[in-house]
Amino acid sequence: MSVILASSSPFRKALLKKLGIDFETVSPNINEEREKYESPFELVKRLAEQKAIEVSKFHSGLVIGSDQVATLGSGMNIDDKIFTKPGSHDNAVFQLKNCSGKTVTFLTGLTLLNTKTKKIQVHVEKYKVTFKKLTESEILNYLKKEDALNCAGSFKSEGLGIALFKNMEGNDPNSLIGLPVIELIKMLAKENVHIL
């Protein structure tokens, strides 16, 4: 059965490639806006499912959907602020100043949809990152050395962003990059796709 990654993210694609399975990528066309009264947790769960369902309308196989947000809260409350991709240098500086000395919770929604059986598996992975107290020069030096404008929270944990952290807490550091690989391996095994 073919595996389809419902994402245009080069980061998710690189993580899935490490598993050594054949797959194709298809970019889902959905509205990713947060709904009123939706917690960050509910948002990533819904968007991961929607991405998989949207792609399954046109492709058959095992469809992987994923979505991620970063928040200063627990992610369970509707008033938890979400950090999006900064898009500009000034927004990235602002985000990193906000994160300085604080713990940021990353929530990554994951869905595996079997288009043949209609079986759907859904999971939300939580990962916490505590930032060091950052000086303005550290923030500016970081943004000068690494292009993190297309990353939620304005950093790349797989790159130099690791230098911004005091500590990390969670089950799967891959989820910071956008795909909880440990959980995905379990989901694939339930569909008789074994990595080893």
Q: Which residues pair with 65 in a beta bridge?
A: 111
78/28 Cα distance (integer angstroms): 25
Q: Give yes or no: 67 in active site.
A: yes
Amino acid at 76: M
Catalytic residue among 22, 67, 79, 80: 67
Secondary structure of 84-125 as H, E, C letters: CCCCCHHHHHHHHHHHCCCEEEEEEEEEEEECCCCCEEEEEE
How many CB atoms neighbour CB 133 within 10 A? 9
Helix (H, G, I), strand (E, B) or coil at 2: coil
Structure tokens at 134: 């950052």
Phi, psi for residue 111 in degrees, rounded to 5: -130, 140
Which residues participate in catalysis according to the annotation?
67
